[in-house]
Amino acid sequence: MAPGPFEAHEVDLHGHRAVYRVAGSGPNLVLIHGMINSSRHWQAVAERLADSHRVIAPDLIGHGDSATPRGDYSLGAHAASIRDLLATLGVERATIVGHSLGGGVAMQFFYQFPQLTERLVLISSGGLGQEVSPLLRGAALPGSATLLRLATRPRLVGAIAAGGNRLRSRGNSTGVYLQAVARALGPLQEAGSRRAFLETLRSVIDVHGQRVSARDRLYLLGDMPTLIAWGERDRTIPIDHGREAAQAIPNCRFATLPKAAHFPNLEDPGGLAAVLGDFLNTTSPAFIDDSEWGAVIEQRARGRLRRAA
């Protein structure tokens, strides 16, 4: 069938507005956006995959058109919200895809709900190493709320975007970075969005870099079809994080996108959709029940005890 429109829908989750977008039909494919982004940023990818999958892209709480309540903005809270959204949609299992912060959410979703996860895809993902761009480290500092309010003035955001467009049109790679900065600042002009952004950011990043790491649990992905994809020009999170994680995960695929920086879904949606489509078409969905999950953890623990002895 031809790809359908990337339609937006709204549900009430625990008294708060949750927005998600859907396209196509078939096996369920969940696309989780990164920090400050929204489900809209998946549109070009979703429409390319909607001929073979039911693509579901939620707006994380505090992002996009979803509500911005005071509350928990940790990775685990975001993962639980996605679980609740999928439950309201009658989705029992799905392939989970996450970009940047969404990669951390995707990993948390798998760790908390392995029985719901068929495959895992991490795109320029957080949670795989400490290093992160100075811009994000600075945003986590005390007092950054005032600076952020000043930085999100429409005139300044417009000037940054225009400068990025000019540089990119001349072939200067700095233009891509400035465009990304402008794209990130734009949604933060509302006070509630700024607060949600800072609470989400500070749950995963401090002045030293990323403070949440999944490296000690990558072994749990041994039986889960896993793909890690990265933009080769990424200046936000080092590509080496992806390479090292792929080496630590048994049978993990690793793909790079030469045309993309930190936002492959926007900078090279065709290339990213092709990589995702190949992965989906050449792997079989996994099924992990609770008893198997316990056995994996117990086996790892026994192995460590034997090595210690």
Confidence label for 172 from pLDDT (cuts 50, 70 and 90): confident
pLDDT value at 177 more than 80: no
3-state secondary structure of 46: helix
- Identify the pLDDT of residue 305: 42
Give pLDDT, residue 128.
96
pLDDT tens-digit map of 55-92? 999 999 988 888 788 888 999 999 999 999 999 999 99
Considering 100, 124, 133, 193, which one is annotated as catalytic? Answer: 100
Least confident of 168-182, 193-207, 209-223, 277-291: 168-182
- Place 247 in a pLDDT band, splitting at 50, 70 and 90: very high
Task: Return the biggest CA–CA distance within the chain.
Answer: 64
Kindly tell me the burial class for residue 307, based on how many C-beta atoms sit within 10 Å of its own C-beta (0-12, 13-18, 19 or more): exposed
Mean pLDDT of 160-168: 83
pLDDT > 60? residue 303 = no
Q: Which CATH number fits domain 7-132+212-308: 3.40.50.10420, 3.40.50.1970, 3.40.50.1820, 3.30.70.20?
A: 3.40.50.1820
pLDDT of the residue at 149: 74
Closest to 63 in 3D by CA, of 107, 117, 100? 100
pLDDT band at 94 (very low <50, low <70, confident <90, very high): very high
Q: Which one of 63, 78, 262, 268 is the catalytic residue?
A: 262
206 is catalytic: no
Contacts of 234 (CB under 8 A, 6+ apart): 124, 260, 261, 262
Global pTM reads 0.86
Residue 107: pLDDT band (50, 70, 90) is: very high
**Is residue 33 annotated as a catalytic residue, yes or no?**
no
For residue 308, what pLDDT is reported? 44
Question: Which is the catalytic residue, given 66, 234, 241, 268?
Answer: 234
Known active-site residue 100: yes
pLDDT at 299: 65
Higher pLDDT, 75 or 36: 75
- Read off the pLDDT of residues 281-300 as tens digits, 9 standing for 90 and up: 999 999 988 777 777 777 66
* pLDDT at site 302: 54
- What confidence category does residue 190 fall into, taking pLDDT thresholds of 50, 70 and 90? confident
Give the chain's mean pLDDT: 88
Angle at 144 between CA 141 and CA 146, to 5 degrees: 160
Is residue 212 within 8 A of residue 127, CB to CB? The reply is yes
Strand-strand pairing, 7-13 and 16-23: antiparallel
pLDDT at 292: 74
The average pLDDT across 18-39 equals 94
Q: Residue 225 pLDDT > 70, yes or no?
A: yes
Closest by CA position to 122, among listed 243, 290, 12:
243
The Cα 263–Cα 6 span in angstroms is 19
Give me the pLDDT at residue 258, please.
Answer: 97
- Find the mean pLDDT for residues 6-13: 91
Query: Which comes out higher in pLDDT, residue 222 or 56?
Result: 56
Q: With 50 as the cut, is the pLDDT of residue 256 above it? A: yes
> What single letter denotes the amino acid at residue 292?
E
More confident residue, 205 or 277: 277
Q: How far is the C-alpha of 245 from the C-alpha of 238, rounded, in Å?
A: 12
Query: What are the residues whose beta carbons fall under 8 Å from the beta carbon of 14, sequence distance 6 or more?
Result: 84
Provide the pLDDT for residue 1.
39
